[in-house]
Structure 1
C-alpha cells in the first residue's frame, strides 16, 4: 500500500503518518499546502499512489465562504490530481456534515465529490478530535485549554455541553482501517462523551500535580492517559528537567523519584557503562520518566517526522528527571567517565506482545 496524505503536516495528518510508520511500517507521502495549491505538483505526487487519505480541510477562516469553498476546492483538487485514475480514497469527514453551517456544507459537498470518483471511497465520520500538539484556538477546545493552563492561564467555560471526543491516534487508526479495507463504505467513529467543564477540571488537576513537582495523576483509564499526554505536550521542553527536593544528612541523600496518584505503574533501574546508551525508540501512549541518580547523562529527543533535536544534560550530582513526551524519539547516553545509574518509571506494565515501543534513531544516519 502506497499512501498519500493530504494535509499531511497538519494535526490529524501528522498523527496518522506517525501511526502508519509505527504500527504498519508505511512512510506516507505527506502533501502540504504548497503542493495542494499547485495542480502539476499535486498530480505528480499522486501519480503512483494507490491510496489517498484526504485529511486536508478548512476549519476556520476570516469568512464563511472561505470555510465552505475551501473544503470543496480541496476535494476538487484531489479529483483533478487523480485525473480519472481509480484509487482508494479515504475521507476524514465530520459529525458536523449534516449541519447547515459553512463548515458542514463544505464537508458534505467534498464528500459528494470524492464519492463520484471512479475508484472506491471510504467516508470516515469523525467526532471532535484532541491530542498532542494540536493548535490552540483552531483544532479543538481541548488544545486551547491544555495550552492555556500549561502556560499559566485561567481559561473559562462560557457554554457547557457534552462533547463526543476521540484522541487523534484513535481517529488515525480508524482511517488506516478504512484504507486497508479498500471498499466503498461509511464508517462512523464513536466518541466518548465528556463535558467541557469536566475536561477543563481534569486539565487543571493535572497542572496542580504535575507542573512544578512532576507528580503523576491517576492514569487508570484510557481517556485520562490521552488527555494527560495532550496536556503535557504543551509543557515540553520548557518545563524540564525537574529537580526534586533533596534531603541530605550524614547518612547520605534521599529524594523522591515518582509520586503517582493512581493507575498501574512500573519502575526499574539500569546501569550504563561510559560511552554506551539506551533508547532510540518512541511511544504512542506510554508515560515514561528518566531519572538520573548517579553519573553524567545526555538525553536527546526528536519529535517524530521532524528534524530538530532537543537535548538535556543531567548529572547525579544534581538529581533531576525528564519525562518522555509521546511521539518523540528519545535516547539516553552516558557521557561521563563512570557508570550511569538511571531510574525509569512508566505508567503501564510491560506487555511483551504489545510493548508500545517503536525503534528509530534520534539522529537518523
Structure 2
C-alpha cells in the first residue's frame, strides 16, 4: 500500500512514518515545505491518507482556518479530481468540542472530510487525540510532558499552576498502533455514525503526580531505583524521559566500594525485584562467608576463574561449584547455606550478583559463618 502522510515531519508524523517503513509500507511524506504539485501527485496514487497536517499555535487566528479547514478542503478536492476513493484518517483534537478558534477550525475540518466521504464514497476516520506524549515531541510547544522531561533532565525548575488538574494522556506508540490498525481496516470506533475513532489506551494523571514521577526518574540515577516497569504508564513515561536527556549526559557514574580485596558496586535496585551489583575479587581473595534466612542470590561469573563453596549450617559437608567466565552459568545461593566465592585464578574474578531484596542496613539478614 502507498500511504500518504500529511504533516510527516511533525511529532506524530515522524513516529508514524518510521513505523510504516518498518512494516514495509510505501510512504508518501508531505509537509508544508512541499509544493501543491507534489500533493497532487501523491493524491493520485495513494491507497490511504493519514492527514496529520494542521495549525495549532499560529500568531494570526485566521491561520487556524487556512491551516486546518482550508488545507483539508484542498486535500479532499485533489482526491476527488483524481477519482481516488482512498480512505482518510484525520488527526483532529478533543478541542473540536470547544468554541475557541482552534476547536472550531478542527471541527470544520472534520465536516469537510465527512462531506467528502459522502460525495466521493470514501471511508473517513476521525481521531480526536488528547494530550499526546513520547519521543520526538517538541518541548515548550504544546506538550507538558515534553517540556517537563526536557527541563527536569537538565535540572531546571518547572511551573505547576494546579497540582490537582487532571490530564488524559495518550502515548505515541499507542497512537501509531491504532493508526496502523485503521490503515488495515480495523479502527477502534467510538461512534460509527459520526466516524469518530479513538486510541483504546490512555492514562489519567494529575499534574502533581506527573511532575513527581518524572522527577523520580532523574533521582533514580542517584538512588539506583529503577521505576516500576510493571506499570505500563510509568514504563512509557520513563522511555519518553530518556529521549530528552542531554546528549552529553547519557552516562552516569556509580559509587564503588573499593578495598585491598577488590570492589563491590551496586548497579540498580527495584522495590519488588531486588538489586543487581558487580563484585570484583583479586586473585586469592575469598569473599562471603555468611548465610541468610530469607535473602537469596544469584551469581554469574563473567570473567576470571573461581569456585563457590556452600555448607548447610547444620552440616560439615562442603559443596563446591567451579565457575569461570568462559562458561556463563548462574549459580543460585539458597537460604540456610553459608557460602563464599574464591578467586582461584591469576586475574580478577568479576561476578554479577542479583539479590532478591534491596540491602537494608537495619535488617541485613546476613550472618557471618565460615564455610
2:162 aligned with 1:136: no
Aligned counterparts of 2:56 and 2:257: Cα–Cα separation in 1: 52
The alignment status of 1:69 with 2:73, answered yes or no, reads no
Cα pair distance change 1:253/1:8, threshold 3 Å: same
* Alpha-carbon distance change, 257 to 174 in structure 1, aligned in 2, over 3 angstroms: same
SS of the residue 2:155 aligns to? coil
Are positions 1:2 and 2:2 aligned together? yes
Give the distance between the partners of 1:215 and 1:33, measured in 2 at CA.
44
Deviates more, 1:175-184 or 1:93-102: 175-184
Instruction: Check if 1:153 corresponds to 2:156.
Output: yes
What are the Cα deviations for residues 44-66 of structure 1, in whole angstroms up to 9, with x where unaligned? 23332100100112121113222
Establish whether residue 205 from structure 1 lines up as the match of residue 211 from structure 2.
no
Q: For the residues of structure 2 that align with 1:263 and 1:4, how far apart are their CA atoms?
A: 45
Name which structure has the greater RCO, CA cutoff 8 Å, separation 6+: 1
Provide the rounded CA distance (Å) in 1 between the counterparts of 2:272 and 2:102. Answer: 41
| 1:247 pairs with 2:251 | no
The Cα offsets for residues 266-297 of structure 1, whole Å up to 9 and x where unpaired, read as 99xxxxxxxxxxxxxxxxxxxxxxxxx98xxx
2 CA distance for matches of 1:265 and 1:144? Answer: 31
* Moved beyond 6 Å, runs of 4+: 263-267
Deviations 1:89-143 (A, max 9, x none): 1111222111001111111111111222212111122221111121112231111
Structure 1: stretches of 5+ with no match in the other structure: 268-292, 295-340, 346-365
Please say if residues 56 and 102 of structure 2, whose CA atoms lie closer than 8 Å, have aligned partners that are also in contact: yes
Please state how far the C-alpha of 1:234 moved relative to its aligned partner: 0.6
What TM-score results when the alignment is normalised by the length of structure 1? Answer: 0.67
Q: For residue 216 of structure 1, what is the aligned residue in structure 2?
A: 226
Is the partner of 1:254 in helix, strand or coil? strand
For residue 196 of structure 1, the aligned residue among 207, 212, 221 is 207
Structure 1 stretch displaced more, 184-193 or 46-55: 184-193
TM-score (norm 2): 0.66
C-alpha separation in 2, matches of 1:74 and 1:242: 47
Using the TM superposition, give the Cα deviation of residue 76 of structure 1 relative to its aligned residue in structure 2, in angstroms: 2.1
Cα offsets for 1:293-320 (capped at 9, x unmatched): 98xxxxxxxxxxxxxxxxxxxxxxxxxx
Structure 2 unaligned spans of 5+: 278-301, 304-349, 355-371
